[in-house]
């Protein structure tokens, strides 16, 4: 094998290694768009086909249950913590905070792709960004785009206007997994004999993306934040030794 061929093979292998360990911004954008499409299609379908609090059993452990979330996780509102803030002001503050947060995540995503960080890290940030953006779309635009869902199926772009102004929309949730419910054994201390159900919260595709991304960063922390250059150099040395 000539030196020219070795150099060509080395460069080719280097590109293959980089493509394996590194995700480009283009690939990350495709993932973001796919998650956004699934999230928004599911929300629009539920919003325009279900009355608020309607539910359909898909399996005994899975339901499509339409609820709207006006606050943070688990339906908590900012005004629950700061009683001097009205619900309307709390909603606006929360939406603006979400916009700032997702902007920061976007800059982080661009930064890690430019620095060619690990595929695990970029993938995790990408799905977190997609989930956060999906819920922001609800908060910013759904109040204008849809009519009220209480006691009626909402319509898209109603003539009389939406149920709220810009930045005051409610996040649509629909995924419910009532896996188990019943009385706990009497032998258990404190909680024995009490009714318990798992899993009560209702969420959406965007929430799943956010939770999955955070879970990846926690569980695969070392893999997410490893140095690609060291791995690439190791693989290249191995290849050169073999040739």
Q: Which two tokens stand for residue 87?
A: 């619900």
173 is catalytic: yes
176 forms beta bridges with 63, 202
Q: What is the DSSP letter of 189?
A: T
Q: Which residue has the tokens 């973001």?
A: 32
d(CA 165, CA 121): 36
Per DSSP, helices labelled H in the chain are: 3-21, 25-49, 78-81, 87-114, 119-137, 143-145, 205-219, 221-224, 228-242
Catalytic residue among 70, 138, 173, 235: 173
What burial class does residue 130 get, using C-beta atoms within 10 Å of its C-beta: 0-12 exposed, 13-18 middle, 19+ buried? buried
Selection from 108, 126, 106, 100 nearest residue 209 by Cα: 126
CA distances from 10 to 20, 76, 188 (A): 15, 55, 63
Catalytic residue among 39, 54, 70, 207: 207
d(CA 64, CA 186): 33
d(CA 31, CA 116): 17
SS3 label, residue 2: coil
Catalytic sites, residue numbers: 173, 207
């Amino acid at each position: 094998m000539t030196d020219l061929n070795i150099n060509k093979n080395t460069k080719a292998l280097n590109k293959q290694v980089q493509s394996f360990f590194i995700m480009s911004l283009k690939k990350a954008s495709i993932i973001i768009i796919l998650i956004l499409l699934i999230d928004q299609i599911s929300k629009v379908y539920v919003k325009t086909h279900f009355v608020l609090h309607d539910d359909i059993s898909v399996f005994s452990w899975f339901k499509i249950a339409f609820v709207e979330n006006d606050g943070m996780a688990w339906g908590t509102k900012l005004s629950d913590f700061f009683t001097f803030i009205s619900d309307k002001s709390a909603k606006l503050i929360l939406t603006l905070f979400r916009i700032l947060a997702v902007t920061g995540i976007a800059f982080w995503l661009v930064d890690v792709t430019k620095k060619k960080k690990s595929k695990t890290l970029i993938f995790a940030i990408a799905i977190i960004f997609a989930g956060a953006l999906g819920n922001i779309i609800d908060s910013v635009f759904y109040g204008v785009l849809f009519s009220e869902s209480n006691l009626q199926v909402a319509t898209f772009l109603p003539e009389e206007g939406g149920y709220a102004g810009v930045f005051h929309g409610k996040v649509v949730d629909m995924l419910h997994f009532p896996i188990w419910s019943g009385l706990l054994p009497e032998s258990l201390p404190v909680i024995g004999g009490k009714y318990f159900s798992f899993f009560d919260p209702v969420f959406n595709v965007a929430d799943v993306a956010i939770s999955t991304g955070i879970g990846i960063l926690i569980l695969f922390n070392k893999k997410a934040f490893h140095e690609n250059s060291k791995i690439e150099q190791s693989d290249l040395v191995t290849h050169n030794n073999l040739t």
